[in-house]
Amino acid sequence: MRIGIIGAGFGGLAAAHDFINAGHQVTVLEGSDHVGGLAAGFKEPHWDWSVEQFYHHWFASDAAMLGLIRELGWQDEVFFPRPKTVVYYKDAFHPLDSPLAALTFPGFTLPDIARFGFVTAWLRYLARWQPLEQVTAHTWMRKYYGERLYATQFEPLLIGKFGRHYQDVNMAWFWARFKARTTRLGTFRGGFQAFADRFAASLRERGVDLRLNAPVQHIQPRAEGGLEIRLPDGVTETFDRVLSTTSPALMARLAPDLPGEYLQGLLNLKSMGAVVMVLALTHRLSEQGYYWYNLPKSAGFPFLALVEHTNFLSPDYFGGDHIIYCGDYLDTDHENFRLSQEELQARFLPALARINPNFTAGWVRKSWLFRSTYAQPIPLLNHSRNIPPVQTPISGLYFASMSQVYPWDRGTNFAVKIGRDTARLMLAG
């Protein structure tokens, strides 16, 4: 078969890997000038490693991603440091990323700790997600964790992640975080972009036609069978089968011939955008070596997470720069999608002095701003009923996005999983 893939993110590349291994002709069409999708990175001339535009890491439990890497024979390029994560409580930051840290956390009483351990163990080892999607995380956690645990630990995360939608998110989304995540975090030597580039080069060597700067404009079925893809300047390509890995909204625009019910299902999927500012500092920000700060909006922080990347990886990989992420999930009509980089930097920098009182704007050597309108799907009650099937009603056309990995959360691991699962379905069909 002649198979077309729209999008060179991790899911599209993983599907191409399986298609070419099965002996088919594969073309990957990517609208940007690089591979990697939302896990893409950038690199300064004096850096040895790239930095992701939107902070990424792997969990030790990411079986799909790590399994693919083993197939490629690159497992020795993956390593797992154990960074430190802290939460904000009563004007100070405290570790809360291990059982020992929970025992010493000032916001918990001994009954709180016992309740936290029991409920979390039940979620991780015994609970099924299907009943949990019938109730909101807001309601379920207040009931079973209790008001103090919820208000201290979970409500700030929900508000930061989903904003005004936080009381609408179902509990299966939180279940997946407990079920699938680990405290050990991994990366690829050289950064995620190094992996994506190496993977793309391997695919090309094996015969995949991978084209950058090739934005798809239209997908339509052909009367004689197969599908036609229109590219800029009137260029068209025909394929026996097509896999689209775009956002749901873009898929709806690209394939208007889809039946109305399927199109409406795509448009009904809700998601948050992401705004991330990356800073290269001349000094270390966290003297305690903290990697991830969960920041409550109620305490006046202008973003959800502060991530000191060089407390996870050595600054030696980045020419001595200390790399900081200031990240947030927001509705796409939020003003942070309109403000200039200079305006956002002026808004964000004062918060860094709350981490280190010695911080000054003179520490900032350079900054970068990245925004995406499609970054975090919002799973509402009974969300499994709302997910469009990957096999669309148009013969030969398939759609696989991070909005369909539910109940799991978005990320490269589940992008690889849904990409490969869909490839198997396409090969069997």
Query: What CATH number has the domain bearing residue 336?
Result: 3.90.660.20
Determine the Cα–Cα distance for residues 177 and 159; give it in Å rounded to an integer.
16
User: At a CB cut-off of 8 Å and minimum separation 6, what does 121 contact?
Assistant: none
Determine the Cα–Cα distance for residues 144 and 52; give it in Å rounded to an integer.
37
CB of 307 closer than 8 Å to CB of 249 = no
Residue 422 pLDDT = 98
pTM score, whole prediction: 0.94
Same domain for 358 and 289: yes
Residue 321 pLDDT = 98
Phi, psi of 287 (to 5 degrees): -70, -20
Determine the Cα–Cα distance for residues 272 and 218; give it in Å rounded to an integer.
25
Residue 297 has pLDDT above 90, yes or no: no
Residue 108 has pLDDT above 90, yes or no: no
Q: What is the mean pLDDT of residues 288-297?
A: 91
Phi, psi of 202 (to 5 degrees): -65, -40
Same domain for 203 and 70: yes
Same domain for 407 and 340: no
Determine the Cα–Cα distance for residues 419 and 402; give it in Å rounded to an integer.
10
Q: What is the mean pLDDT of residues 255-276?
A: 95
Choose the weakest-confidence range: 11-20, 100-109, 182-191. 100-109
**Strand residues in 240-363 grouped as ranges (E):** 241-244, 271-281, 292-294, 305-308, 322-330
Domain end marker among 153, 176, 199: 176
User: At a CB cut-off of 8 Å and minimum separation 6, what does 379 contact?
Assistant: 133, 169, 170, 172, 173, 406, 407
Residue 362 has pLDDT above 90, yes or no: yes
- Beta-sheet pairing, 185-188 with 58-59: antiparallel
At position 54, the amino acid (one-letter code) is F
Residue 351 has pLDDT above 90, yes or no: yes
Q: Considering the domain boundaries, does residue 246 fall inside one?
A: yes
Determine the Cα–Cα distance for residues 346 and 140; give it in Å rounded to an integer.
39
Choose the weakest-confidence range: 129-138, 173-182, 210-219, 241-250. 173-182
Residue 100 has pLDDT above 90, yes or no: no
Residue 89 pLDDT = 86
Phi, psi of 146 (to 5 degrees): 95, 160
Domain end marker among 150, 176, 202: 176
Mean confidence (pLDDT) of the chain: 94
Q: Considering the domain boundaries, does residue 51 fall inside one?
A: yes
CB of 123 closer than 8 Å to CB of 332 = no
Determine the Cα–Cα distance for residues 280 and 96; give it in Å rounded to an integer.
27
For residue 361, what pLDDT band results from cuts at 50, 70 and 90? very high
Higher pLDDT, 87 or 324: 324
Which tokens hold the place of 293?
């700060």
| Count: domains in the chain | 3
DSSP 69-138: HHHHT-GGGEE-----EEEEETTEEEE-SSHHHHHH-TT--HHHHHHHHHHHHHHHHT--HHHHTTSBHH
For residue 181, what pLDDT band results from cuts at 50, 70 and 90? confident
Q: Considering the domain boundaries, does residue 117 fall inside one?
A: yes
Domain that holds residue 324: 271-377
Residue 97 has pLDDT above 80, yes or no: no
pLDDT for 28-68, tens place per residue? 999 999 999 999 999 999 999 999 999 999 999 999 999 99
Q: Considering the domain boundaries, does residue 57 fall inside one?
A: yes
For residue 91, what pLDDT band results from cuts at 50, 70 and 90? confident
Same domain for 215 and 122: no
Residue 365 has pLDDT above 90, yes or no: yes
Residue 193 pLDDT = 97
The secondary structure of the chain in percent helix, strand, coil, rounded to multiples of 5, reads 40, 25, 35
Q: Considering the domain boundaries, does residue 96 fall inside one?
A: no
Q: What is the mean pLDDT of residues 108-134?
A: 92
pLDDT for 125-179, tens place per residue? 999 999 999 999 999 999 999 998 898 889 988 998 899 999 999 999 999 988 8
Residue 180 pLDDT = 84
Q: What is the mean pLDDT of residues 255-280?
A: 95
- Beta-sheet pairing, 185-188 with 227-230: unpaired
